Amino acid sequence: MNRRAQRDSFWRGALLSGLVQVLLLGLAVGAVLALGQHALDVLRARGVRSGFDFLMEPAGFQISEGWLDFDSVQPFWRAFLAGVLNTVRAALPAMVLAVLWGTLLGIGRLAPHRLLRGLCAAYVEALRNVPLLVQLLMLYFALTQLLPDSSAPIELARGFWLSKGGLAMPWPAADAGWQGAHGLGWHHWDWPERTAFGVMGGAALSPEYLAMVLALTLYTAAFVAEIVRAGISAVPPGQVQAAQALGLKGAQQLRLIVLPQALRVIVPALTNQLLSLVKNSSLAVAVGYPELVSVANTSLNSTGRAFECIAVVMAVYLLLSLLIAAVMNRYNARVALRGWA
């Protein structure tokens, strides 16, 4: 078979594979829509109000914090959007912190120092075997019970105040009437200051938010540590010996030789942990942080639209998971080229 025939055969196979995938996706979407419509028809037949028209009605409740300001007179769809953004607001920094902390723990588990290895191993085993919900509640109670009152906060660093009311920190602020190149801008920091009535100014992170981010970070980092340890251990010893022969120091060996090759093993397993982290963020409802599940529960109680509220939650988590998987798979395709043969 000549090269042109091989190329034509390849494209015919790729086209056929693509058509089959589109067909299967269409069948899956059609089946989901049919089941959803059947459920709505059954609810209507039983006299139960159903449908997604409630999303345009006023919600009647407020959301205390988040990236999107929300008032009780605004519609339910905006409340769900605020809940989604609050989920991302907690999950995104937790992802970054869990990867960084987990990487350090994984490296520590392979350190030559016996005490450091033991401490890292104890951390990993302890947090992996305690349910996340228990850790979340412990952190929340510690933040709200053991810290001083808002009137007597602890100054962690200049401009950072911690108390039962949460964490106050500096935040960029806009000056009235000042216009940047693209509209309203900012050119100074709003620093929180301690007053007789508590800390004023800056930005405030609630204890519910802090407990959620810390719990997700500490719990997920324990699993990330094991993934990093396995990835580093999978690098052939010859690679390290070659790095030593080149005169590279320990940190240079790790940064330039070991970790880039270990990513081939680390990234696929790490993707699963990041997906689990996003789904575990739904536990924030236990401490009152207004993320997606909390907003859905409040909306369900207000409207009685259980099927619709649960369907929205499922759709959002599915989309978030697919987005994370797509980004990580793309990154995995890049780092896989750096692995050993």
End-to-end CA distance of the chain: 29
Residue 313 CB neighbour total at 10 angstroms: 22
Q: Which of 148, 171, 144, 222 has the alpha carbon at shortest distance from 67?
A: 171
The per-residue pLDDT for 185 is 55
Q: 105 near 221, Cβ under 8 Å?
A: yes
User: Can you tell me whether residue 158 is helix, strand or coil?
Assistant: coil
The answer to whether residue 161 sits within a structural domain is no
Supply the Cα-derived Rg of the chain in whole angstroms: 25
The per-residue pLDDT for 172 is 79
DSSP state of 175: P
The per-residue pLDDT for 91 is 95
DSSP state of 319: H
The per-residue pLDDT for 305 is 84
Structure tokens at 135: 């850790």
The per-residue pLDDT for 92 is 95
> CB-based contacts of 253: which residues, under 8 Å, 6+ apart?
240, 243, 244
The answer to whether residue 30 sits within a structural domain is yes
Between CA 296 and CA 82 the distance in angstroms is: 11
The answer to whether residue 35 sits within a structural domain is yes
The answer to whether residue 15 sits within a structural domain is no
The answer to whether residue 110 sits within a structural domain is no
**pTM exceeds 0.85, yes or no:** no
Q: How far is CA 276 from CA 134, 164, 209, 320, in A?
A: 17, 29, 18, 11
Q: 266 near 231, Cβ under 8 Å?
A: yes
Between CA 304 and CA 246 the distance in angstroms is: 68
Between CA 109 and CA 190 the distance in angstroms is: 41
- Tokens 């997606």 correspond to what residue? 292
- Tokens 């992996």 correspond to what residue? 128
Residue type, 21: Q
| Residue-level pLDDT, tens digit, the chain, 341 residues | 566 666 666 667 667 766 777 787 788 778 777 776 776 677 667 666 667 888 899 988 888 888 888 888 999 999 999 999 999 999 999 999 999 999 999 999 988 889 999 999 999 999 999 999 999 999 999 999 988 888 888 888 888 888 888 888 888 776 655 555 555 555 678 788 887 777 887 788 899 999 999 999 999 999 999 999 998 888 887 776 777 777 777 677 777 777 788 888 888 899 999 999 999 999 999 998 999 999 999 999 988 888 889 989 999 999 999 899 989 888 888 877 544 44
Q: How many helices (H) and strands (E) does the chain have?
A: 10, 10
Q: Which residues of 91-119 are buried (b: 16+ CB within 10 A; e: fewer)?
A: beebbebbbebbbebbbbbeeeeeeeeee
The per-residue pLDDT for 341 is 42
The per-residue pLDDT for 291 is 92
Q: How far is CA 316 from CA 18, 205, 254, 304, in A?
A: 26, 24, 38, 20
The per-residue pLDDT for 338 is 47
Structure tokens at 235: 């690098």
Q: 284 near 90, Cβ under 8 Å?
A: yes
Q: How far is CA 5 from CA 2, 16, 19, 337, in A?
A: 5, 16, 21, 29
The answer to whether residue 338 sits within a structural domain is no
Strands 203-205 and 198-200: unpaired
The answer to whether residue 157 sits within a structural domain is no
The answer to whether residue 158 sits within a structural domain is no
177: Cα separation from own chain's centroid: 36
Residue 113 has φ and ψ, to the nearest 5°, of: -75, 120
The per-residue pLDDT for 182 is 52
The number of domains in the chain is 1
Structure tokens at 310: 């649960």
Between CA 318 and CA 212 the distance in angstroms is: 21
Domain span at 36: 22-53
DSSP state of 253: I
Please count the residues of the chain. Answer: 341
